[in-house]
């Protein structure tokens, strides 16, 4: 018997990273030694003090019951305190913070709270695929805002088609940016707030990479701008900051009404994050942040090795100020897919083609800094032998 899937699924392309895993495994089965610079999954372990707190919390029978839908009040309080210390943003934990089962979950569910069929969601391109897919799942129309190199990979708000803007309800921004590694300043966020007020838009800010920054740079929060909390919600994750990708823990903060709308959806769909994981998250947020500084230093060293190597191959790549990605232009004459396939098949190097993040990503490839310096140097050496 054959079963027809829902139209919403038929509108979606294959999930980018699942397809990359498939191609990688095909090459590995040929006996090739793979250097995986594709999916951005930290290779370092979760800090010991966080693991120890999870272990002790998991042994407490009180954590084995259904968690609160919006998260432990103590986790939300500590998340609010962390935001206040890090960004100077004051949050009311009971109303303006909600626990997430990873920021991806929250970003995926948010459109269900505010998007009706036919509503437009303005999203950056290239971008994390969940922005597009969650809009489709909610019945909305995703409209891309191209991120171009000549604009510093910031969207040109004035170039959005007027007919689409008239139907727009949400605008998504993501800085530090995945995949381009671009950063945004407070002047840009001020423009976004003004734009949102002028056109009645909800601002969704994906801030998963604010703590992965280099050379003394500290990325700001969208919520630092006056009026931002009146129009927006920001999503944060413990995944990259504390090497907790598999733990699935994050939080959303901002406008109380928007937080409540997301909470209403979540109460119908999931039962909240495991209390023991939230208690470990409290440990991560409140303990000494030396582990985060150490990770920044490690990624900065890796960034420098890879950028120097790619430049030595003649590629015009810029060292990123934040994220653990390097957004690299393809060699002349090669498309994103061509470059990715060639270095995978001929050199055993996994990367992510820029066009997989959207049409505006064509001509670029994303390298993840999630292997050690020696392997990054080896990757450059292998590419050099291809005569690109």
Domain limit, last residue, from 257, 286, 315:
286
Torsion angle defined by CA atoms of residues 93, 98, 99 and 105, in that order, rounded to the nearest 10 degrees: -160
Round to whole Å and give the CA distance between 184 and 357.
Answer: 19
Question: What's the pLDDT tens digit per position in 168-225?
Answer: 999 999 999 999 999 999 999 999 999 999 999 999 999 999 999 999 999 999 999 9
Spell out the per-residue pLDDT of the chain, length 388, in tens. 889 999 998 888 876 667 777 877 887 888 889 999 998 899 999 999 999 999 999 999 999 999 999 999 999 999 999 999 999 999 999 999 999 999 999 999 999 999 999 999 999 999 999 999 999 999 999 999 999 999 999 999 999 999 999 999 999 999 999 999 999 999 999 999 999 999 999 999 999 999 999 999 999 999 999 999 999 999 999 999 999 999 999 999 999 999 999 999 999 999 999 999 999 999 999 999 999 999 999 999 999 999 999 999 999 999 999 999 999 999 999 999 899 999 999 999 999 999 999 999 999 999 999 999 999 999 999 999 998 7
In a domain, 1, yes or no: no
- My answer on whether 210 and 302 are in the same domain is no
Domain annotation covers residue 2:
no
Res 16: pLDDT: 66
Instruction: Indicate the SS3 state at residue 358.
Output: coil
pLDDT tens by residue, 30-80: 888 999 999 889 999 999 999 999 999 999 999 999 999 999 999 999 999
The alpha-carbon radius of gyration of the chain (Å, integer) is 21
**Domain check: are 195 and 295 in the same one?**
no
Count of residues in the chain: 388
The reply to whether 213 and 354 lie within a common domain is no
Instruction: Choose one of 286, 320, 343: the last residue of a domain.
Output: 286
- The CATH number of residue 380's host domain is 3.90.1150.10
φ, ψ of residue 55 in degrees (nearest 5):
-60, -45
- In 63-76, which positions are buried (b, 16+ CB within 10 angstroms) versus exposed (e)? beeebbbbbbeebb
Q: How are beta strands 325-329 and 364-368 bridged, if at all?
A: antiparallel
Which residue segment(s) compose the domain that 275 sits in?
A: 48-286
Range 280-290 burial, b when 16+ CB lie within 10 A, else e: bbbbbbeeebe
pLDDT for residue 339:
94
Beta strands in the chain (DSSP E): 35-36, 97-100, 120-125, 141-146, 168-174, 202-206, 232-237, 250-254, 325-329, 349-350, 352-353, 364-368
Residue 170's closest CA among 98, 92, 255? Answer: 255
Q: pTM higher than 0.85, yes or no? A: yes
Picking from 247, 270, 286, the residue at the C-terminal end of a domain is: 286
Q: From CA 125, how far away is CA 131, in angstroms rounded?
A: 10
Tally of structural domains, the chain: 2
């Amino acid at each position: 018997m054959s079963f027809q899937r829902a139209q919403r699924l038929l509108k979606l392309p294959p999930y980018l990273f699942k397809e990359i895993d498939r191609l990688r495994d095909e090459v590995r089965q040929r006996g090739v030694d793979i250097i995986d610079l594709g999916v951005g999954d930290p290779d370092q372990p979760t800090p010991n003090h966080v693991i120890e707190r999870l272990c002790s919390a998991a042994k407490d029978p009180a954590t084995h019951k259904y968690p609160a839908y919006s998260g432990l009040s103590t986790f939300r309080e500590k998340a609010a305190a962390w935001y206040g210390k890090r960004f100077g943003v004051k949050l009311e934990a009971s109303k303006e913070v909600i626990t997430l089962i990873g920021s991806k979950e929250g970003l995926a569910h948010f459109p269900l709270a505010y998007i009706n069929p036919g509503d437009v969601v303005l999203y950056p391109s290239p971008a994390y695929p969940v922005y597009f897919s969650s809009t489709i799942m909610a019945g909305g129309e995703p409209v891309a805002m191209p991120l171009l190199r000549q604009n510093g990979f910031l969207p040109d708000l004035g170039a959005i088609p007027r007919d689409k803007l008239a139907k727009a309800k949400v605008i998504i921004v993501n800085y530090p940016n995945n995949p381009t590694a671009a950063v945004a300043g407070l002047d840009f966020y001020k423009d976004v707030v003004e734009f949102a007020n002028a056109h009645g838009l909800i601002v969704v800010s994906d801030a998963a990479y604010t703590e992965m920054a280099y050379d003394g740079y500290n990325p700001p929060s969208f919520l630092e701008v006056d009026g931002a909390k009146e129009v927006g919600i920001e999503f944060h994750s413990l995944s990259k900051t504390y090497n907790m990708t598999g733990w699935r823990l994050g939080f959303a903060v901002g406008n109380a009404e928007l937080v409540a709308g997301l909470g209403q959806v979540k109460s119908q769909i999931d039962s909240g994050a495991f209390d023991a994981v939230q208690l470990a998250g409290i440990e991560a947020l409140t303990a000494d942040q030396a582990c985060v500084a150490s990770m920044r230093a490690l990624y900065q060293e890796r960034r420098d090795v890879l950028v120097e190597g790619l430049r030595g191959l003649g590629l015009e790549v810029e060292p990123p100020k934040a994220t653990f990605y390097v957004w690299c232009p393809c060699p002349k004459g090669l498309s994103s897919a061509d470059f990715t396939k060639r270095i995978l098949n001929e050199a055993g190097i996994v990367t992510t083609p820029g066009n997989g993040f959207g049409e505006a990503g064509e001509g670029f490839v994303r390298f993840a800094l999630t292997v050690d310096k020696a392997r990054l140097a080896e990757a450059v050496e292998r590419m050099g032998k291809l005569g690109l």
